[in-house]
Amino acid sequence: MKVTRRTTAAAVVALTAITALTACSSSDDAASSGSSESAAAPASDQTLTIWLDEQRAPAVEPIAEQFQADTGITVKSVVKDFSTVDQDFISQVPTGKGPDIIVSPHDKLGAYVQNGVVSPIELGDTADQLADVAVQAVTYDGDVYGLPYSIENVALLRNTALVPDVATDFDDVIAKGQAAVEADAKVKYPFLLGLDPKQGDPYHMYPLQTSFGSSVFAQNEDGSYDATRLTLGDEAGQKFAAAVKTWGEEGVLNANITGDIALEAFEKGESPYYLTGPWNVPAIKDAGIDYAIDPLPSAGGEPAQPFLGVNAFFISSKSENKVAATKFLTDYLATDAAQKALFDVGGRPPALTTAYDEVAAADADVKAFGDIGLDGVPMPAIPEMAAVWADWGGAELQLIKGEGDPAEVWTKAADNVESKIK
Amino acid sequence: MSAPALSPRRTPSATPTAPQKRPFSLRRWFRDTGWRHLVALVLVVFAVFPLLYVLSASLNPGGSLVGSNSLFTTIDFSNYVDLFGNPSQPYGQWFVNTLVIGLTTAVLTVFMGAMAAYAFSRMRFTGRRMGLLSLMLVQMFPQFLAFVSIFLLLSSIGDVFPAIGLGTRLGMIMVYLGGALGVNTYLMYGYFSTVPVSIDEAAKIDGAGHARIFFTMILRLVAPILAVVGLLSFIATTGEYVIASVVLTDPSTQTLAVGLYQYVSQAFSNNWAIFSAGAVLAAVPVMVVFLLLQKYIVGGLTAGSVK
Amino acid sequence: MSQHETTATDVAPSRPGAPAPGPASASDRGRRPRPPRRIESGTMVALVTKIVLLGLLDAVAAFAIVVMVGLDMWLPIVATVVATGLINWIYLGRGTRLPGKYLVPGVAFLLVFQVFVVLYSGYVAFTNYGDGHNGSKDDAIAAISRAGLDRVPDSPSYPVSVVEKDGELGLLGQAPDGDVVVGTSDEPLTVVDDPTLNSLGVPTGAPGWTTLSLSDVLGRQGEVVDLTVPLSEDPGDGFLRTDDASTAYVYRSAIVYDEATDTFTDGDGVVYTDDGEGEFASADGQVLRPGWKITVGFENFERAFSDPQISGPLLRVTVWTFAFAILSVATTFALGLFLATVLNHPRMRGVKVYRVLVILPYAFPAFLSGLVWAGLMNPEFGFINQVLLGGAEVPWLTDPWLARFSVLFVNLWLGYPYMFLVCTGALQSLPGELEEAARVDGAGPWTVFRSIKLPLLLVSTAPLLIASFAFNFNNFNVIYMLTRGWPRFDDTTLDIGSTDLLITMVYKIAFGSGGARDFGLASALSILIFLLVAAVSVVAFRRTKSLEEIN
């Protein structure tokens, strides 16, 4: 009896399964016939997936719509968290599930190439229409990998109500800043630079460092960086280290002032100077501060060059839509309209020369930042750069806090980096 | 259910000492409950002050999170308005997603955990002891490398069943359900064991099968722990960020945690104020769920054991 | 104890559905006979539900198998068949399979989404997966070959159309001298006599060739970008290829892959061979990027023990990790229990409000909490120093001991609501008569708490405390968001500091050192940490007797 019952139960299970399957398979047929049709007319259901940040998304969307109208290819924008997007890209592309296109700052390019996740593209004549530094930034081992759309770098913002004249060099900045502090009780800081009390900020400090003739890696003749020649700990670097300690002791640099504190203080008119990038300008404008954008002041006598960041579109090496992706980049994004749309949402000077000229003519701020950037050097994109930041920032932080002997702290940081790269 | 007339073991100590009418005395009041209020107030301050800080930042357009130490100087709801105004960041949709994913996961976690706890507490089988221990141990694995394998897993599942693959809410729920046992089972197991077995026995004599005993009797008796586990699961799910950001690749399916983190991760844009507003609202569902469940967490057991 | 275990498991199978021992059931134990054999699910409704659900599951499994056959996923097919068979077997059976019916749903998800993750990490620990070894060998070969294609400097561009003859793709283009040319990968470019041109003068068709429309091109994108058309019989002249199907350029290969010998040869004749470490290397040690993922045996584990970078600060970090985990559990539990006890009072008003307010830290998105606290603890501008301490400059996060304190303090804030919830639940389950009886005997509230409530609570919460220990042992987030493990140790080249836990140290070694991420090493280290935590936990479980009580 019990056997019969159980067998019956099993039989009913099987029957239900078959019924359900039949129901499924009829819909499955529909699906598969759909896919065979699509082989004949592929354009209708093809999708380019693009990873970008939330700021860029609204600018890319109208361009994507135009692209779809012209080619029938849907462009799907996926907004990703930009602090980890490079790592997601590197781990997902090899599985074949990654995006076709990624928007990324150029300094990740070395890691992308090292992991074989990006494909070179031939910009053709477009290359000539782009700023040289921008193309240089997306070039790695002699191959061009991306379509640059904007450049970004820091400059010195000056509150013109507090200091009316351009300073000649960094000492002059400090002198003018201190005079402003003494003259007005509301002014608290002679000079502002956003740091992090945990890790320093070598990026923002870099122009001061280059003005001592110090750099991180030596550059080859073509402007590419040589990972085997770390120049961080050289004599010029040690001179800079000594200056950092002095600035820390004088209170010019304060490790407790984070990016947001610095911005808020400048917005309230508590400092005449603020070393920052174009991303903070809209907020400062909204706060009603009268500002000027000054060239970066030299502290050590040599030109103060900031790190130049270039934002670009890269194509995945495993993309199955390379033709479409390349078309989208070279025909739709390397246009004045597209680059200006991206400028409108991001506020960074466009990489396309004609678009830049147009924007710069209309907006003095863009021109001020852009002129500094176009003379700059791209941030190193070599993967070894990732090993540098922690020790570099740690050493600067230690010096700002007035700890240790500058030369010792500095060379030790350089030695640490060296031992990691080797 | 014909209630077995057993002494309810978990009757709160309140029942026997029914309140008697006595003249009010401040001293007695303080010794009895007053000091409790004092302690509770101190801890409420400890719990809440960092959050007040965030609330203040959320009401201050353009404010920063650090360094604005004068609380509530500006009160302005524009950040909350902005929150819902950006089509590329569908905050309302994220909110719904969070609720859907969080509630589904919580309900299923409670259900599966309760079933497992029932088996562990009421049945004897080989490997039971090892099973319980392994459930705990598996969850001790440091998960920070998990994203690669979860990505691979879901993308292959998606090849077969696109509806539960990468970027889908269902896929996300399944990943969270992977953690349904483990600590939760333990938590419930402990509580299940406090329910007298004689209740099962009596029901069995009445002819009830194991399924009927479980679904119609036991589950009601253990309501408080179900509520606690449900709440813990809901909180864990709504706050989880690392795996969600790998699985939920499409903005329209993302949860609040993933979406909000994008505000912070834009290193150079200052979205702190809007972000704070989002975070404040994000804490609301958890509070609501807690309020809804509170009556079960605290009062449920009285009801359960009396019936 | 082990004696006890053996007996229990030996007895267990013969007593399906036996009641758990509890105070109330002590007298019933062993009295009850085996349950009568009858349909377990009782009503027809339950039976039908079960059969329908199983049937649906089987249908889904069958459907999945059909799809997977198409995708050549053989291993998952085997897993699906086995799993489905097992589930049917369990739910259609009875007796000793009964526990399985209750365990299957949770365990199924556990196996797929948790055990798989652990096993996958185990597998990764034996590979060189990481930066530079990120994909398959085929991908690496494709990437090296593609990067080796260089456009001939200053060479002209060709406006082209993609054409087809006898199924073979070709490029139809306009040479710089104005001739219209066509060719395929086998046939070098030849001049076309009678081309069709569009209004811009771009060739769009040639006799004998079918021109691909844009949608055709888009359907065969892979073929189009791989198409190389030699300029002439001499390979040294280079070849045409196009990325966008409308403009082609002249390329030469700087490096060529030979499938027969599995080597790359560059323009200078240097040969790169597979060196067995997942990369192509020349005789003098030059390596081509990228490499690929291979298994490397125990190499990662050996490195974990032999690398002086790792073993150097290891002891200090380990001690702090234990201290952090134990103190975190102790403080959060103490505060959570205290609060639960305080609020667990029948005559207290406003308990609901208090309860909601004190769990708020738990309700708040955790990743934000760390950032908020880092701001609050800013030495000069933070709320704590400036407002609460009236302008003091306490270096909360930058002094080694204060930073350790701060991390514990913030973790207390983050963690006590969990313990509060758990303890509230546990307190509710304590038998009320016990307390009554003790009170009648004249015991004060403190004595009742200490000698009755606390021991009982500890028994029921001990497993959770151990789990909490394990969680805090690997509490990556709070450390990373608050201090990043800093302030740094002065005496190591590694970026490791006073508040680093083992897990953050692993993270820094695996993802920070040399700038390259090394998933292989990271997985190996996390397995070692897992073994350590698991061992400690097992010992703790045995000690707490919580599991003995089960038997």
10-residue averages of pLDDT along chain C (551 residues): 33 33 36 43 72 90 88 85 89 79 88 88 89 88 88 85 88 87 89 83 84 85 88 85 88 88 88 90 88 90 81 85 95 93 80 85 79 82 82 84 94 92 79 76 81 80 85 86 80 80 83 70 88 89 62 42
**pLDDT given for residue C403 in this prediction:** 92
Residue C216 touches partner B, C-beta closer than 8 Å: no
How does B224-250 read in b/e, with b if 16+ C-beta sit within 10 Å? bbbbbbbbbbbbbbbbbbbbbbbbbbe
Exposed e or buried b per residue across C333-343, where buried means at least 16 C-beta atoms within 10 angstroms of its C-beta:
bebbbbbbbbb
**A192 and A286 belong to one structural domain:** yes
Residue A257 belongs to a domain? yes
Q: What single string gives the DSSP state of each residue in C101-130?
A: HHHHHHHHHHIIIIIHHHHHHHHHTTB--B
- Residue A229 makes CB contacts below 8 A (sequence gap 6+) with A217, A218
A308 within 8 A of A151, measured Cβ to Cβ: yes
Q: Is the pLDDT of residue A32 over 50?
A: no
Tens digit of pLDDT for each residue in A287-337? 889 999 998 999 988 999 899 999 999 999 999 899 999 999 998 999 999
Mutation for C interface: B72, B94, B137, B222, most C CBs within 10 A: B137
For residue range C405-443, list pLDDT tens digits in order. Answer: 999 999 999 999 989 988 887 787 777 777 778 778 887
Question: Is residue A29 very low, low, confident or very high in pLDDT (cuts 50, 70, 90)?
Answer: very low
Nearest CA in chain A to C143: A116
Q: Which residue in the set A42, A116, A257 is minimally distant from C134, CB to CB?
A: A116
Nearest to C307 by CA among C533, C118, C530, C492: C492
Answer whether residue A319 is part of any domain.
yes
Report the chain A residue with the minimal C-alpha distance to residue B257.
Answer: A81
Residues on chain C touching B136 (C-beta within 8 angstroms): 463, 466-467, 470, 537, 541
DSSP A98-143: S-SEEEEEGGGHHHHHHTT-EE----TTHHHHB-HHHHHHTEETTE
For testing contact with chain A, the best of C243, C247, C280, C481 (most A CBs within 10 A): C243
Asked if C253 contacts C149 with a C-beta cutoff of 8 angstroms, the reply is: yes
Q: How many domains does chain A have?
A: 2
Q: Name the residue with higher pLDDT: C194 or B176.
A: B176
Q: Is the preceding omega at residue C207 within 30 degrees of 0, hence cis?
A: no
CB–CB contact B266 A84 (8 Å): no
Touching partners of B (3+ C-beta pairs < 8 Å): A, C
Contacts of B301 in chain C (CB under 8 A): 428-429
What are the tokens at C373?
């606290």
Asked if B24 reaches chain C (Cβ–Cβ under 8 Å), the answer is no
The answer on A230 and A123 residing in a single domain is: no
pLDDT of residue B302: 38
A 277-306 → B contacts, CB under 8 A: 277, 279-280, 283, 286-287
Q: How far apart are CA A60 and CA A337, in angstroms?
A: 11
Q: How high is the pLDDT of residue B23?
A: 67
Q: Mean pLDDT, chain B, as a whole number?
A: 78
* pLDDT interval class at A119 (50, 70, 90): very high
Residue C178, phi-psi category: left (phi > 0), alpha (psi -120 to 50), beta (remainder): left
Q: What is the pTM of this model?
A: 0.81
Structure tokens at C457: 């609570």
Residue A94 lies in a domain: yes
Classified by CATH at the fold level, domain C309-550 comes out as: MetI-like fold (1.10.3720)
Q: Chains near A, with 3+ CB pairs < 8 A? A: B, C
Evaluate if residue A240 carries a pLDDT over 70.
yes
CATH entry 1.25.40.80 includes domain B85-306: no
Contact A79 B89 (CB under 8 A): yes
The CATH number covering residue A281 comes to 3.40.190.10
| Shortest alpha-carbon distance between residue C370 and chain B (Å) | 11
Mean pLDDT, chain C, rounded, equals: 81
Would the CB atoms of A264 and B67 count as touching at under 8 Å? Answer: yes
Please give, rounded to a whole number of angstroms, the shortest distance from the CA of C281 to a CA of chain B: 28
Q: Is the pLDDT of residue A91 over 50?
A: yes
> What CATH architecture is C37-124?
Up-down Bundle (1.20)
Query: Cβ of C547 under 8 Å from any chain B Cβ?
Result: yes
Let me know if residue A18 belongs to a domain: no
Q: Is the pLDDT of residue B44 over 70?
A: yes
For chain B, the structural domain boundaries read 25-76, 85-306
Q: How far apart are CA A167 and CA A218, in angstroms?
A: 30
- CB spacing of B50 vs C5 below 8 angstroms: no
> With bands split at pLDDT 50, 70 and 90, how would you rate the model's confidence at A400?
very high
Q: What is the pLDDT of residue B8?
A: 38
Chain C residues close to B212, C-beta within 8 Å: 42-43, 46
β-pair partners for B168:
none
Q: For residue B32, name the pLDDT band (cuts at 50, 70, 90).
A: confident
| Helical axes B183-192 vs B223-239, angle rounded to 10° | 170
> Is residue A7 domain-resident?
no
Identify the pLDDT of residue A19: 65
pLDDT score of C525:
87
Q: Apex CA C223: angle with CA C222 and CA C227, to 5°?
A: 120
pLDDT at A390: 82
pLDDT at A51 over 80: yes
Same domain, A98 and A166: no
- Asked whether residue A221 is domain-assigned, the answer is yes
Reported ipTM: the value is 0.81
Angle B44-B49-B50 (CA atoms, 0-180°, nearest 5)? Answer: 125
Distance in angstroms (rounded) separating the CA atoms of residues A381 and C474: 33
Q: Are residues A342 and A397 in the same domain?
A: no
User: Same domain, yes or no, for A206 and A293?
Assistant: yes
What does the domain layout of chain C look like in residue ranges? 37-124, 139-253, 309-550
Backbone angles phi, psi at C232, to 5 degrees: -150, -175
Residue A249 located in a structural domain = yes
Q: Return the pLDDT at A232.
A: 92
* C-alpha closest to that of A199 among C201, B299, C480, B256: C480
Pure H helices in C71-197: 74-92, 98-110, 116-124, 137-148
User: Which chain A residues contact residue B267 at CB under 8 A?
Assistant: 82-83
Mean pLDDT, rounded, of chain A: 85
Q: How far is A83 from chain B (nearest CA, A)?
A: 6
Q: Is A193 helix (H, G, I), strand (E, B) or coil?
A: strand
Residues of chain B contacting residue C544, judged by C-beta atoms under 8 Å apart = none
Give the model's confidence band at A241: pLDDT under 50 very low, under 70 low, under 90 confident, else very high: very high
**What mean pLDDT do residues B216-220 have?**
86
The closest alpha carbon to C51, from C92, C80, C108, belongs to: C92
Q: At A173, is the pLDDT very low, low, confident or very high (cuts 50, 70, 90)?
A: very high
pLDDT > 70 in chain B, percent: 81
Residues A400, A296 share a domain: yes
pLDDT grade, residue A155 (50/70/90)? very high
Residue C441 Cα distances to C132, C293, C448, C453, angstroms: 73, 71, 10, 15
Determine the residue among B147, B160, B249 to mutate to test chain A binding: the one whose Cβ has the most chain A Cβ atoms within 10 Å: B249
Nearest residue in B to C421, CA atom: B228
Domain containing A369: what range?
45-151+309-378
Same domain (yes/no): A161, A264: yes
Average pLDDT over residues A275-281: 88
Lookup: tokens for A239: 């001179």
